[in-house]
Amino acid sequence: MGKKAAKKAPQRQSTTAVTGEIPVVGARENCPCGSGRRYKACHGREASHAVQELVHRPFEGLSGEADWVALRELVPAATVPLTLAAGVAEGANGEVPSVTLATVLPLAWPALRRQDGSILLGLQTQSASGDLSRDLADALELALATEPGTPVPSRRTEAGGRRLQDLLDVTAEFTPAVHAGFEFWLEDAETATGEVAASLERANASAIPTEKLDSVDAAYWCGTPDKNHLRWVMTVPEERLLDALARLTAADRSSLGPDTRLVGSFRAHGLTVPVWDLPLAMTATDCEKPAAEFAERLTAVLADETPLTAEERRARANLVNRQVTLN
């Protein structure tokens, strides 16, 4: 007895022919393009590759790139007013809402449209697309279209969307305000009660004391129980910076004063962040003058293009061996 012929899958009208776009569906569902294959083996493969593409410097081109990195990785509680590019807020109820970048929001919300229509955009959120700038821009666009008094939920960012560099005025100043706690979450923190007050109290208790230095760019002092630290985000290309730090270390000129030590560096979003150990008695104010003096020494050695000496090469190797990559 012959086998029954397999039934052909019903032909579906291609979504591409109608809209020119392929909607996102479940990985095991039929692809909306009408190919008859599962989404993960068809257009989902392209979407997956796009999602996994990593942008190493997502904040490049934005004003204050180094501070963007610091607020993303180093600073517990800070806010920065943002300026939208011309035309971005058109259609948002005919008004241009104020937008404030915040290091983190309650429940790790990507963004929040407050009752007064203003927007808080969370920076320390998970990146789904491999391009943090695109993820943040997606959250900002959702917030612009969200009703006041509503948080923006997390979602997968679609490939090809706009980036922060497209939505923000990249010439506007980027001036972080570092806070001791997270009272900026609420329009009136003094009236917080119940679970809201408890959540705020827990967040405040977990925040490491952090202060931004005024004398140099993107340098942040933080205090821990055992010792204090200075973490300084620098935009100098990594290889040049490591050479310069090695020259200063070999010459015993890399410290910020007695009982301080350059202990290494880490990479974050394409930038290098040198780290110094500081004594517990050394405050952020105490760091201002030594940091400014170090910046002058660094500028001088960055101009030195002679080959490293044997001692400088050893110092460089030691710095590289202690370097950590965050992302």
Read off the pLDDT of residues 163-197 as tens digits, 9 standing for 90 and up. Answer: 999 999 999 999 999 999 999 988 765 666 666 67
Residues 249 and 155 in one domain: no
Residues 233 and 187 in one domain: no
Gap between the Cα atoms of 281 and 256, Å rounded: 13
Is 33 a residue whose pLDDT tops 60? Answer: yes
CATH of the domain at 278: 3.30.1460
Residues 134 and 77 in one domain: yes
Tokens of 140: 């900002």
Question: What DSSP designation does 255 have?
Answer: S
DSSP class per residue in 78-134: EEEEE-BPTTTTTTSTTS---EEEES--GGG-SEEE-TTS-EEEESSS--SSS-HHH
Residues 79 and 195 in one domain: yes
Residue 133 in contact with residue 31, Cβ under 8 Å?
Answer: no
Is the residue at 6 inside a domain? no
Is the residue at 2 inside a domain? no
Residues 185 and 227 in one domain: no
- Number of structural domains in the chain: 2
| pLDDT at res. 23 | 62
Rounded to an integer, the average pLDDT of 282-310 is 98
Number of other CB atoms surrounding residue 224 within 10 Å: 10
Is the residue at 222 inside a domain? yes
Strand duo 228-232 + 271-278: pairing: antiparallel
Is 236 a residue whose pLDDT tops 50? Answer: yes
Across the chain, mean pLDDT equals 87
| Residue-wise pLDDT tens digits, 123-152 | 999 887 889 999 999 999 999 999 999 999
Rounded to an integer, the average pLDDT of 3-30 is 50
Residues 145 and 170 in one domain: yes
Task: State which residues form the domain around 224.
Answer: 210-325
Is 52 a residue whose pLDDT tops 60? Answer: no
| pLDDT at res. 68 | 98
Residues 185 and 309 in one domain: no
Residues 202 and 214 in one domain: no
Residue ending a domain, choose from 176, 206, 236: 206
| pLDDT at res. 175 | 96
Residues 201 and 215 in one domain: no
Q: How confident is the model at residue 22 (pLDDT cuts 50, 70, 90)?
A: low
Residue ending a domain, choose from 206, 228, 248: 206
Residues 193 and 249 in one domain: no
Is the residue at 269 inside a domain? yes
**pLDDT > 90: percent of the chain:** 64
DSSP class per residue in 28-68: TSBPTTSSSSBGGGTHHHHHHHHHH---S-TTTTSTTHHHH
| pLDDT at res. 12 | 40
Is the residue at 24 inside a domain? no
Residues 288 and 191 in one domain: no
| pLDDT at res. 34 | 80
Tokens of 323: 């370097």
Residues 196 and 232 in one domain: no
Residue ending a domain, choose from 206, 237, 266: 206
